[in-house]
Amino acid sequence: MGLRVAVIGTGYLGRHHARVFSEIEETELVGVVDLDKERAGEIAGNTAVRRSWTTGTSFRMWTPSAL
């Protein structure tokens, strides 16, 4: 797999970025972070990402290459 990406924020652009990164074969969307737990979980579910968090510190364990 190529680039490992985590999306921080699930507003309009964050939703778009999560969808696009999940569709690119050369990237792996490893997680979604947002202060709104339900929204982060919704976006994670829509993109087949199993991990979503409400704090920026927790995503470090996913070892993303890009944010």
Residue 31: give its domain's CATH number: 3.40.50.720
pTM above 0.85, yes or no: no
45 falls within a domain: yes
Residue 35 CA neighbour count, 13 Å, CB half: 1
Instruction: Count the domains in the chain.
Output: 1
Q: What is the pLDDT of residue 13?
A: 95
Q: What is the pLDDT of residue 59?
A: 61
Which strands make up the sheet holding 52-53, listed edge to edge?
Answer: 3-8, 27-33, 52-53
- State how far the Cα of 3 lies from the Cα of 37, in Å rounded to an integer: 25
Per residue of the chain (67 residues), what is the pLDDT tens digit? 689 888 988 899 999 999 999 999 999 888 888 888 889 889 988 888 877 777 655 666 667 777 6
Which residue segment(s) compose the domain that 33 sits in? 3-54
42 falls within a domain: yes
